[in-house]
């Protein structure tokens, strides 16, 4: 509803809040995608970025609360315009390449420092804008409710998130995106300063009308003293109702990115659902119905538990990845609607809105700290999703118990409460049993920035797993211990290449991705194998629990770094064979298959060298991407498929072999291995754009 007495002021505040929210949430995927290749393409890059953004958001809300509660309008004006001017010094926000990691140590704090130095102050200013301008709005446009501005800011945020993967990422290079964002920030700084000047002009100590309903009720408080200050219990509930969905947001994103890929689309979708729940709940109370969303949450929670158990037992009843993602995202959305709907029910009078938003941001920050920093330190497995699901259910029950309007208030209908408590106990037992099942056969478990690893020991073999994905196994039997198993058997495309490419002289071989070291079986005396592995835990487990590395005949050298970053810094290695073995898991490091990375591979391969790319994958068909590289660089390309052999311990394996020399590929004897030239379908990925949806196979 536009204020007829102050139409210009209303429009200015509207534009400023919308612009700040748009910039606030567009910079998150922009800057995260920009630095993703620098840190191995791990899902933890996004989680760490989200942790930084949530902490900075809390800082911005704290600043807004302090400014409006402690400073006069004059000093609010001076302080905020000074910070706006200082933020302009950070533009443009392009991260310098000096921030690229020099080793594979935990990069979380390096990412946080990078973000602070690059977008820290601009993001801080944008974070403070929502609550600060709503406080100023009460003075500059008296008689209008500020809560709709909060809903508008979430609309701007949602629009930013949805347009990034659909419009900005595919349509513009990263450099242009940064320039456009930086120029828009300058516009924001000008109109925000205008709001500050307008507010200072209306030097009103307090709003004349304070609405008790966020739907712009016409009720008017007789005086500001009649409003009741929020009690500690109410502030704690605000905090908790923000912490639970924040935890679930990051935990669900981790779960889905680990199962598919760490790409902006899969960062944006759960965050968009999170914001959508804010928009709906703060727009009107008609969107949130406790019984409907409570029952929906119960159904989706049960479905998520089934998915977790289904994967742990190896059944894979639901193979369609979109259906799996829909179940996890449905659980997230229902939980967010419940928490944010209840949050609106407990909202304070507008006089206390900065305390309200401060509590919300503090809860969001706690969720970020828990998932991004604490959980990887104190847990060996991914258990945050389990904790978030249980916490959300318990919080809803606590609110129902204390709500006088609820038919279940303070234990009413004992039979219903008994059934509910049994269901909660069953939920906790199910999730705890899932964790125990996941680690049942583990002889070693390790978790760090790059994920959770475990070695499972059985009578016949040892297996290395990352989540549900196998990264290699080895027979225990002395006679079969040296067999190349899994995707690397003698009939696999890579096995044939390493055996036949240069049979009469020593070879230089590069391996990007270690696994358990299976490919070193092919090394001969005089061969040199240079292995690039970003995760130090993989190296330790491969050396401790498997013997491939210790029994290799050739010379081995391990580089603990992301393969791409290491190759960028090295002189040409003149590899006879370069093996990319980083795509068999469900989290695809797309930065290793871009045109820019193809240039790098050609630099390090001999003229007749062979690039062997392992593309076996449950959900993604990377053959068109390999074809795109072949066409871009004029390479001869062959697709090879070898079948499962239980006696040899090998699995179905799909490899693509690329070379500048047609003779190098044509002279290979593929035997029983199925081979074919790559098809016509081709997709060329670049660092600026890699559309994973175009290569989904199910």
pLDDT score for 260? 57
| Residues whose CB falls within 8 Å of the CB of residue 25, separated by 6 or more in sequence, listed in order | 156, 157, 158, 160, 161, 271, 275
CB atoms within 10 A of CB 422: 10
- How far apart are the C-alpha atoms of 606 and 79, rounded to whole Å? 60
> Torsion angle of alpha carbons 668, 669, 672, 674, nearest 10°?
30
- How far apart are the C-alpha atoms of 307 and 327, rounded to whole Å? 8
Asked whether residue 589 carries a pLDDT value surpassing 80, the answer given is no
| Residues whose CB falls within 8 Å of the CB of residue 295, separated by 6 or more in sequence, listed in order | none
Asked whether residue 693 carries a pLDDT value surpassing 70, the answer given is no
Paired tokens of 437:
């099942």
Q: Give residue 261's pLDDT band: very low, low, confident or very high (50, 70, 90).
A: low
CB atoms within 10 A of CB 101: 18
Report for 68-77, 171-180, 320-329, 336-345: range of highest mean pLDDT: 336-345
Q: Give residue 211's pLDDT band: very low, low, confident or very high (50, 70, 90).
A: very low
Q: Which tops the pLDDT comparison, 199 or 187?
A: 187
- C-beta separation of 504 from 533 below 8 A: no
pLDDT in tens, 22-44: 999 999 989 988 888 788 777 77
Domain spans, the chain: 1-216, 232-440, 490-695
Do 490-695 and 1-216 have the same topology in CATH?
A: no
For 142, counting Cβ atoms within 10 Å of its Cβ (0-12 exposed, 13-18 middle, 19+ buried), the class is: middle
Paired tokens of 178:
């940064």
Q: For 618-642, what is the mean pLDDT?
A: 90
Per the DSSP assignment, residues forming a β-bridge with 168 are: none
Q: Give residue 164's pLDDT band: very low, low, confident or very high (50, 70, 90).
A: confident
pTM score? 0.80
Distances (CA, A) of 72 to 77, 131, 198, 231: 9, 17, 14, 26
Q: Give residue 602's pLDDT band: very low, low, confident or very high (50, 70, 90).
A: very high
CB atoms within 10 A of CB 171: 12
- How far apart are the C-alpha atoms of 276 and 279, rounded to whole Å? 5
Lowest mean pLDDT among 209-223, 242-256, 457-471, 628-642: 209-223
- C-beta separation of 87 from 126 below 8 A: no
What phi and psi, each to the nearest 5 degrees, are found at residue 344?
A: -65, -35
pLDDT score for 378? 86
CATH topology of domain 1-216: Growth Hormone; Chain: A; (1.20.1250)
What phi and psi, each to the nearest 5 degrees, are found at residue 579?
A: -105, 125
CATH topology of domain 490-695: Rossmann fold (3.40.50)
Asked whether residue 221 carries a pLDDT value surpassing 50, the answer given is no
- How far apart are the C-alpha atoms of 126 and 57, rounded to whole Å? 8
Per the DSSP assignment, residues forming a β-bridge with 528 are: 508, 555
| Residues whose CB falls within 8 Å of the CB of residue 469, separated by 6 or more in sequence, listed in order | 584, 585, 586
CATH no. of 232-440:
1.20.1250
């Amino acid at each position: 509803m536009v204020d007829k007495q102050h139409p210009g002021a209303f429009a200015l505040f509207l534009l400023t809040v919308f612009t700040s929210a748009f910039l606030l949430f567009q910079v998150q995927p922009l800057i995260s995608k920009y630095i993703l290749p620098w840190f191995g393409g791990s899902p933890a890059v996004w989680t760490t970025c989200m942790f930084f953004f949530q902490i900075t958001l809390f800082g911005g809300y704290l600043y807004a609360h302090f400014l409006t509660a402690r400073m006069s309008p004059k000093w609010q004006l001076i302080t905020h315009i000074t910070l706006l001017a200082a933020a302009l010094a950070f533009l443009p926000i392009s991260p310098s390449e000096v921030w690229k990691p020099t080793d594979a140590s935990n990069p979380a704090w390096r990412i946080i420092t990078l973000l602070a130095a690059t977008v820290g102050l601009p993001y801080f200013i944008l974070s403070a804008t929502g609550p600060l301008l709503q406080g100023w709005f009460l003075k500059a446009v008296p008689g209008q409710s500020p809560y709709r501005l909060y809903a508008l800011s979430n609309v701007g945020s949602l629009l930013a998130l949805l347009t990034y993967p659909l419009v900005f990422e595919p349509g513009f290079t990263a450099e242009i995106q940064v320039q456009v964002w930086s120029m828009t920030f300058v516009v924001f700084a000008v109109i925000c300063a205008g709001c500050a000047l307008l507010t200072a002009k209306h030097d009103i100590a307090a709003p004349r009308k304070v609405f008790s309903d966020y739907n712009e009720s016409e009720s008017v408080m007789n005086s500001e003293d009649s409003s009741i200050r929020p009690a500690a219990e109410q502030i704690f509930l605000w905090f908790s109702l923000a912490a639970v969905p924040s935890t679930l947001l990051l935990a669900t994103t981790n779960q889905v990115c680990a199962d598919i890929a760490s790409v902006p689309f899969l960062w944006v979708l759960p965050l968009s659902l999170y914001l959508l729940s804010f928009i709906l709940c703060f727009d009107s109370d008609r969107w949130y119905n406790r019984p409907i969303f409570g029952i929906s949450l119960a159904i989706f929670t049960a479905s998520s538990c089934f998915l977790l158990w289904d994967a742990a037992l190896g059944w894979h009843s639901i193979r369609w990845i979109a259906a799996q993602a829909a179940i996890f995202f449905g659980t997230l959305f229902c939980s967010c609607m419940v928490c944010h709907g209840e949050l609106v029910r407990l909202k304070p009078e507008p006089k206390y809105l900065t305390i309200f938003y401060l509590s919300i941001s503090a809860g969001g920050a706690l969720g970020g700290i828990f998932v991004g920093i604490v959980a990887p330190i104190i847990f060996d497995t991914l258990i945050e999703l389990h904790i978030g699901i249980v916490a959300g259910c318990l919080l809803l029950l606590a609110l129902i118990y204390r709500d006088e309007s609820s038919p279940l208030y303070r234990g009413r209908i004992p039979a219903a409460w008994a059934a509910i408590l049994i269901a909660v106990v069953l939920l906790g037992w199910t999730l705890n049993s899932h964790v125990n099942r996941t680690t049942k056969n583990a002889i070693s478990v390790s978790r760090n920035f790059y994920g959770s690893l475990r070695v499972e020991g059985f009578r016949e073999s040892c297996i290395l797993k990352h989540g549900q994905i196998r990264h290699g196994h080895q027979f225990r039997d002395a006679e079969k211990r040296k067999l190349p198993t899994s995707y690397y058997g003698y009939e696999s495309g890579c096995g044939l290449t390493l055996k036949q490419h240069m049979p009469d002289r020593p070879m230089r071989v590069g391996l990007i991705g270690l696994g358990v070291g299976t490919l070193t079986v092919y090394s001969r005396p005089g061969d040199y194998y240079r292995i690039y592995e970003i995760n130090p835990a993989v190296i330790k487990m491969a050396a401790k629990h498997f013997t491939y590395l210790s029994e290799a005949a050739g010379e081995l050298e391990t580089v603990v770094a992301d393969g791409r970053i290491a190759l960028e810094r090295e002189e040409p290695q003149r590899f006879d064979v370069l093996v990319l073995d980083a795509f068999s898991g469900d989290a695809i490091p797309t930065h290793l298959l871009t045109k820019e990375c193809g240039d790098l591979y050609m630099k390090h391969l001999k003229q007749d060298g062979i690039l062997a790319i392992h593309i076996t994958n449950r959900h993604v068909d990377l053959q068109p991407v390999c074809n795109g590289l072949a066409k871009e660089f004029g390479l001869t390309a062959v697709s090879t498929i070898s079948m499962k052999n239980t006696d040899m311990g090998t699995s179905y394996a799909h490899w693509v072999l690329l070379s500048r020399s047609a003779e190098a590929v044509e002279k290979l004897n593929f035997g029983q291995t199925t081979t074919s030239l790559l098809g016509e379908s081709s997709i060329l990925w670049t660092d600026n754009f890699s559309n994973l949806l175009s290569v989904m196979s199910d």
